[in-house]
Amino acid sequence: MIKVPHLMLEGLNLSLIRQDHPIINGVNLNVGNTGICGLVGANGSGKTTLISLMAGLITPDAGEVRMTGMGGMAPSPLRIGLMMQKPVIMRRSIYGNCDYVLAAQGVAAHERKARIEEGLALVNLYALRHQDARTLSSGEQQRMALARVLIADPGVLLCDEATSNLDPQSTRMIEAIVKSKAKDGLPVLWVTHNLAQLRRLASRVVFMDQGRVLAEQEISDFFEAPASKEARDYLYFESV
């Protein structure tokens, strides 16, 4: 049975031009809560730029990003959770990093404490909560970033190569948490170069090349019969 998405982040006809060269060229993308959507493509294909446009970090030259199905709530950048390859680590403790985000959202102090403790327990960092976040390992920093995103109760989660530099244990933990959240209905866009990870996580794949979306398929179809020549080339080693 096909799930009907009731919460969705949509990029409509997005374009971004730099020095007369289209970085993103009329891209339509929707991220709904029908499973994790994988975004793949070669280096320089525009994945990170697209995710930055969707997150509101960059303003598109044309097109718009909108969030639908939020029960009448206005679209807000606060409702978009973003995990980057290199997370923003504030010069504070782990707890301070999380507290900053909730305080900025105007969450009351007693509620902040409960949510932070729950979030840090989820990523197994509760015991280290008073440690300076800059002293953590890459895996711990990324787990902290995930907790910081999730405690803010995002309406959609965008992950840009969030596990590309991490050890298998941290990767497994992050994958498990994201998968569980997606199962609970959180729309997730997952950018990766790791095709094994793509198979593990995604139910739908969007393939990009030179700033355009060239294929958008179910995961099994994508690997079995890629919808474009560029996608077939991208998957070359899968077929060898």
- The one segment of 5-13, 15-23, 31-39, 49-57 that binds other proteins by CB under 8 A: 49-57
Own/partner long-range contacts of 26-32 (Cβ < 8 Å, ≥24 apart): 26/62, 26/63, 26/212, 27/63, 27/208, 27/211, 27/212, 27/213, 28/213, 29/54, 29/189, 29/206, 29/213, 30/5, 31/156, 31/158, 31/187, 31/188, 31/189, 32/5, 32/7, 32/8, 32/187
Part in contact with other proteins (CB under 8 A); list of ranges 41-49, 89-97, 196-204, 205-213? 89-97
Tell me if 80 contacts other proteins by CB under 8 A: yes
Segment near other proteins (CB under 8 A); pick from 17-25, 42-50, 55-63, 174-182: 55-63
Buried b (16+ CB within 10 A) or exposed e, 78-115: ebbbbbbbebebeeebbbbbbbebbeeeebeeeebeeb
State in angstroms the smallest separation of the CB of 89 from other proteins. 8
- 84 near other proteins, rule: CB under 8 A: yes
Binding piece for other proteins, criterion CB under 8 A, among 5-13, 27-35, 77-85, 189-197 = 77-85
Q: In angstroms, rounded to a whole number, what is the distance separating the alpha carbons of residues 52 and 32? A: 17
Nearer to other proteins, 78 or 227 (CB): 78
Part of the chain binding other proteins (CB under 8 A), chosen from 76-84, 172-180, 187-195, 203-211: 76-84
**Contact flag: residue 56 with other proteins (CB under 8 A):** yes
12, 17, 70, 90: residue in contact with other proteins (rule CB under 8 A):
90
Our CA dihedral for 152, 158, 163, 164, rounded to 10 degrees, sits at: -150
Binding flag, residue 105, other proteins (CB under 8 A): yes
Q: Does 92 bind other proteins (CB under 8 A)?
A: yes
Q: What are phi and psi of 56, to 5 degrees?
A: 90, 10
**To the nearest whole angstrom, how small is the minimum distance from the Cβ of residue 183 to other proteins?**
24
The count of C-alpha atoms lying within 13 angstroms of the C-alpha of 129, restricted to the half-sphere facing its C-beta, is 19
Q: Is 91 in the site for other proteins (CB under 8 A)?
A: yes
Name the residues that contact other proteins, by CB under 8 A.
Answer: 55-57, 76-78, 80, 82, 84, 88-92, 100-101, 104-105
